[in-house]
Each structure stands twice: as C-alpha cells, then as structure tokens.
Amino acid sequence: MADANVITYEALVARVGRIFLRHGVRPESARVLGRVIAAGERDNCQSHGIYRIEGCLQVLAAGKVDPVAVPEIHDAGGPVIEVDAGGGFSNPAFDAAEGVLASRARETGLAALVIRNCLHFSALWHDVEALAAEGLAALSMCPSYAVVAPAGGREPLLGTNPLAFGWPRRGGHPYVFDFATSVAARGEIELRRRAGAPIPEGWAVDRYGNPTTDPEAALAGAMLPFGGHKGSAISTMIELLAGAMLGEFMSREALEVIGGAGFLPRHGALVLAFDPRRFAARSGRDPLAEGERLLTAIGAQGARLPSERRFAAREVALRDGIALTDAEIAQLDAFETR
C-alpha cells in the first residue's frame, strides 16, 4: 500500500461518509451513502462510484433531496411493505426496510418492498445482493428520467430504468445481473464525455434522430433501449410496475419535477423478494441445487456469469486497495473541504 492514491475500501467508505456528513446528511444516511459509493469503486463500477458524489452534492445544494429525512416503514403485516424515504436518498430507505422484507418473504414465500419518494442514484445490485445473502431470490427495478426513446420512436420518454436480479448460491457469490434497459447507463455516456471519448455506435441518436457517437449530441438527443423492441418493452414494464402501479413518478414526470437530466432523478422503486425453498416445497426438489446445475453448465461452456467481473474486482480491491487517479483524489479533497 505504498502508493498514496491507493485507499482501502474501509477508508473510502469513511471518507465518502464524511463528505456527506459535511454537506448536512444525517450520520446514519451518510454512512450508507459512503458504503454504496465506495462499493461502486471496489467493484470497478465507475458509473456509480465516486463520480456520483458530485451529482449527489448538486441535488443537496439545490434542495432537491432532504438530507435529514428519516425513512418511515409502513407495514400492515401483509405481502407489501412500504418505506417512505421522505424525499431522502433511496439507499438508507432500502437499508431500513430490508430486514422486514426478508423476514416477510421467508414467512410467506413472496414479499414486495415499495420505496416511496426517494432520490435514486445508485446501482441496484446492492439490493439484490443483500437479499441473496439472506437466501432469497430478488428483483429490483426503478424508473429514472426520460432520456431514452422507445424502439421505433425518437423522443425521450422512457428512463434508463435499471433491472437487477439476484439468486442465492451456497458457499459462493450469488448469481446477479444488474443493467440499465438503455443500451448503457447514462453515467457511461457522461464519463466518456468527460474523457473526450466517443460512445459506441447504437447507443444513442442526436436531437434530430440521427445515430451519433458524440457523447454531447447523445446527451442532448435520446438514448436507445437495449435489444430494440424487447428492451423497450422491459423498460415500459418498469415504468408501469415501479411508477404507475406505485403511484410514484414515471420517468417523464421525474424529469419535469427534478428540472432536467442535469439533476439526479426522484421517483419510487420496487423490490421483490422470493424464498425459493417455499416455492419448491411441494416438489420435493432443492431449488438451489437445481439452480447450481444450470449455473455450472453455463460456466462449463466458457461463458462468464454476470457479476463475475465485479466479484473478481472486489476480491482484488479488498486485497490490494482501490487505486484512485490524482483527479479523483483532488476531487475528494475538494468535496471534504468546501
């Protein structure tokens, strides 16, 4: 650990937490935000790592998120549990309610968590990994802001609407995928804009509907859904289930309310937790063993499982520390003092 730019995961969690504390976030939430953002760097997911701090500080400064909101759980004992983030960040609300969600899923086989009124900036793998660690399968989804044109259209209407799935595995990392339903997360385009690099073809169209590889033109135009009409339909489903069904903002309204894609979006989120043992009970089969057969067979073909890259990066970061660039260190210093 000779390099001054290499920082341990724990030190980065503490450092990011201190930044949020300094910017008025209550200690419990600052700790969660520190963990979530540092975990993005640890797992080599830069689009949702320390690059996001700036966006979070912007919404704090603009009064678009409540720094001292205390998540409020509403649980009538049924399959749907609600947590009102009170206009605060989504992650502390998920953390507050995760235990109730997991125990309800174990009791009844299936439970849903509705997160209301939250500022959402993070990756979703945090949610499904936490539930998989409890032996549960999970789905997590949310709208974002309207920056994606539906397949066949050219006006931004859908969000980058992420979807994550987790499946528990005995004695190893869970099976997890987590992706935007746009070809890439918007953060990936912004990171390329900052680096002066083009985006791959097929990610976006400019404001006139022409294909573009220029990040500026893409950000001013519309992103595209992954997989054509299939990604467009999944993204629409997320608008309906995690927006319309919850009575929370869909991506178009989220964009209007927050005042443009320059700010992080505000909306709700939906997390579903399933207990595979309860679902399989009458079959007499072991669902985790069945799942294992499939996952092993995928690996046996030389195909990599989603999250394998991330888990490998995590192992290295926990062993050797996280290497930050000079610019990132300078930015953390600036955030801590301003």
The SS3 assignment for 138 reads strand
Query: Considering the complex, what minimum distance in angstroms separates the CB of residue 281 from ligand NDP?
Result: 30
Ramachandran assignment for 87, one of left (phi > 0), alpha (psi -120 to 50 degrees), beta (any other): left
- 């443009």: which residue's tokens? 260
Binding mask 177-206 for ligand PYC (x = CB under 6 A): ---x----xxx-------------------
Distances (CA, A) of 120 to 24, 88, 263: 18, 9, 11
Kindly state whether residue 58 participates in binding ligand PYC, applying the rule CB under 6 A. Answer: no
248 has catalytic annotation: no
Contacts of 46 (CB under 8 A, 6+ apart): 40, 187, 191
Q: To the nearest whole angstrom, how small is the minimum distance from the Cβ of residue 186 to ligand PYC?
A: 3
Q: From CA 88, how far away is CA 330, in angstroms rounded?
A: 27
Q: Is 188 a catalytic residue?
A: yes
Strand 266-274 to strand 211-212: parallel, antiparallel, or no bridges (unpaired)?
unpaired
Choose, by CB under 6 A, the member of 44, 47, 103, 213 that binds ligand PYC.
47
Residue 102 or 124: the one with the smaller Cβ distance to ligand PYC is: 124
173 is catalytic: no
| Sign of the CA dihedral running 145, 148, 150, 155 | positive
Binding footprint of ligand NDP, residue count (CB under 6 A): 26
In the shown chain, the binding pattern of residues 251 to 290 toward ligand NDP, with x for contact by CB under 6 A and - for none, equals ----------------------------------------
Contact 47, 187 (CB under 8 A): yes
By CB under 6 A, name the binding residues for ligand PYC.
47, 121, 144, 160, 180, 185-187, 264-265
Residues tagged active-site: 47-48, 188
By CB under 6 A, name the binding residues for ligand NDP.
47-48, 120-125, 142, 144, 160, 162, 164, 177-180, 184-185, 188, 304, 306-310
